Amino acid sequence: MNPKYKKLFEKSYIGKMSLSNKFIMCPMSTHAWDTGSLLSDDQIDYYAERARGGVGMVILEGQFISTKVDKAFTSMPAAGTVDQAIRWAMLVDRFRGYNTRLCNQLVIGAGRNTSKQLDNFLPGPSEVPLISNPDKKTYAMTKEQIQVMIEEFVKAAVTSKAAGFDCIEIHAHSGYLLDTFMMKLWNRRTDEYGGSNENMARVPAEIVKAIRTAVGPDYPILFRMASRHHFEGGRTLEESLEIIKILDEAGVDAFDIDTGSYETPDWMVPPAYYGDAPSMEDAAVIKKVTNKQVLITNSITLDTAAEALAEGKSDFFMVGRPLIADPHLIRKVFEGKEEDIRPCIRCNEYCLGGITRGRRASCAVNAQALQERVFKFEIADIARKVVVIGGGPGGLEAARVAAIKGHDVTLYEKTGTLGGQITAAATPAFKGQLAKYLQYLIRQNKKLGVKIHINTEITESSPELANADKIIVALGAKSFLPPIKGINGDHVIEVMEAHLHRHFEIGNKVVVAGGGLSGCDSALELAMEGKDVTIVEMLDEVAVNAFINNRIALLKKLAEFKVKLLTGKKILEFTKEGVVIESKDGSNQEVKADTIIASFGTRPRNTLAEAICDQYPTAKAIGDCVSIGQVGEAVRSGFFTAWAID
């Protein structure tokens, strides 16, 4: 083990419960339940694999514990039933052989966060609009209904203890029902449950006290809440500190701290643009008002955890997306194998994006997530000769997976470097995780004995293909440059070239022609270096294809670094002084620039891909040479194609 991580693996305690290390898996929704909110076999396999990977504790994704309080949860009829408890016990049994604690997170209601439009059935502290439809409102719960809510929490906590969970966590964050009681904007009550911080904390405090009475003095109770909501009118850190003091006295053993709400989803699951551990300083402040254990989340890395522990900023470190990407992350650190960790690239496209698209969660770089049993690796009965054409992320992943299955793999790359377009995309400082992922792919292929040939172009007539049992064509995409007057000027640089080779030629005043994701990332990178940057985009908005959380964060960063956005503008000409653009009303203007970055997107390298596939029935094209997509689409197609070789 690297000595700088040693203290992260010291035995630690939450109350009287010991943990083998200071890493805890965040509660993250998977949307992989069986009918009625029951834990599915896939979920049980998924969590058990993370326990096998050595994390100190797993906090289960939110478990809906009652249909009596929030009628939006009536679609979860198993909540609070014997059937639910049986599935909980099955998960507990899977954990018994591992040195990993298991915590049950209890959710009582969505309140104003619900997506269901139900009149008079959506509880809250007050009558406030739903976030999904301001025309619909929650109703103010009566004191009798609040008591029912408390009773349901107690019942779920007792059932959790009986099922064998090591502890429970009360879910009270991101604007869900319990969180709304702790915030003036949403809690407008004038009785003892509203007004002051003490009154707004009364409901959660009564829940904690009632659970403590029921489960005894030694059973740990965790409380998950946002330190701040990050929007005007949302709860501030100062208000949270007062509430934490009250909950501390009520009997909470540990505070699980995140940030954000549905108004600020970019803070709930921070994209790459926010860097490492953006909420760590909140934990440090909270540590000063409670002697209970503090758990902090949001893009925690090994180094930020080690540094924060040494400085007393937090006691435990919540790891979420990185454990989806690599379930054995913690074990690899313990064994000194950090170079074998598959990094999370913080793209949010599959863990969160999959859910927003109506699917279960997965991962851009780990297609096995939540399908561990289906896509289990087994050595093939016959070692096939596999040729991979293209050394981008899709080709590298295909080669890695085929090699793991025992096949004889050879990879050919036309250029002198591996990585394809992510070699350029990973150059900004905020894309450091993507750069680490590329190095992981290259390193794993070399360790697995994949024969790699760079500077080798393969066509449909190349003799290297003649004896292959399987050919995977991953040629990627090429940049598109439209026939606009002056586009070949010396001061016009294609965006990938700007990232990789000609950065030193970029002047202080820059126009980025094209406001797609690549163009916006390039603009932000240059603006962070102090350059005066303007994006010109034909559409009415920039980064329209970016995942919503990422886009929100990107736009905030572009504004922070004063990147000017000229949208709804068509470029008519590149001149020696800049670009001539046309507005929708037909008027023209010239935007001055020392350098112009051309970012007009890419096109599939499909001609050669189709020729190879036509020549060889065993060939299959994947990734961008079939259809332009994000990194995860190329990686996952590489995984699935290689896994299917038998």
Catalytic residues: 176
Q: Please tell me the distance from the alpha carbon of residue 565 to that of residue 325, in angstroms, as a whole number.
A: 34
Q: What are phi and psi of 78, to 5 degrees?
A: -80, -10
Cβ neighbours of residue 187 under 8 Å, at least 6 residues apart? 125, 126, 180, 181, 193, 194, 200
Burial status of residue 151 (CB atoms within 10 A of its CB: 0-12, 13-18, 19 or more): middle
Phi, psi of 497 (to 5 degrees): -65, -40
Alpha carbon 453 to its chain centroid, in Å, reads: 34
Q: Which residues contact 249 (CB under 8 A, 6 or more apart)?
A: 205
Alpha-carbon span 344 to 25, nearest angstrom: 14
Token pair 């085929």 is found at 402
DSSP-assigned letter for residue 119: T
Q: How many helices (H) and strands (E) does the chain have?
A: 21, 28
What's the order of all strands across the beta sheet hosting 385-389? 451-453, 408-412, 385-389, 470-473, 619-621
Beta-carbon contacts of 223 under 8 Å, excluding residues fewer than 6 positions away, are 169, 170, 172, 204, 208, 247, 252, 254, 255, 256
Q: SS3 sequence, 608-627? A: HHHHHHHHCCCEEECHHHCC
| Sheet of strand 532-537: strand arrangement | 492-494, 595-598, 509-513, 532-537, 564-567
Instruction: Return the closest-CA partner of residue 404 out of 432, 383, 431, 433.
Output: 383
Rounded CA-CA distance 189/123 in Å is 13
In this structure, the strands spanning 595-598 and 602-604 are unpaired
| Amino acid symbol at 94 | R
Q: What is the Cα–Cα distance from 4 to 302, expressed in whole angstroms?
A: 9
Rounded to whole angstroms, the Cα distance separating 405 from 584 reads 56
CB atoms closer than 10 angstroms to residue 262 = 16
The whole-angstrom separation of Cα 572 and Cα 578 is: 11
Q: Rounding to the nearest 10 degrees, give the CA dihedral for residues 35, 38, 41, 43.
A: 110
Q: Check residue 428 and give left, alpha or beta (phi > 0: left; psi -120 to 50: alpha).
A: beta
Exposed / middle / buried, residue 576 (Cβ in 10 Å: 0-12, 13-18, 19+): exposed
Contacts by 414-418 with C-beta closer than 8 Å and gap 24+?
414/390, 414/455, 414/456, 414/457, 414/458, 415/391, 415/454, 415/455, 416/454, 416/455, 417/391, 417/454, 418/391, 418/392, 418/442, 418/452, 418/454
Under 8 Å between Cβ of 477 and 604: yes
- Helical ranges in 529-577 per DSSP H: 548-560
395-410 burial, b at 16+ Cβ within 10 Å, e below that, comes to: bbbbbbbbbbbbbbbb
**Among candidate residues 107, 96, 191, the one with its CA nearest the CA of residue 152:** 107
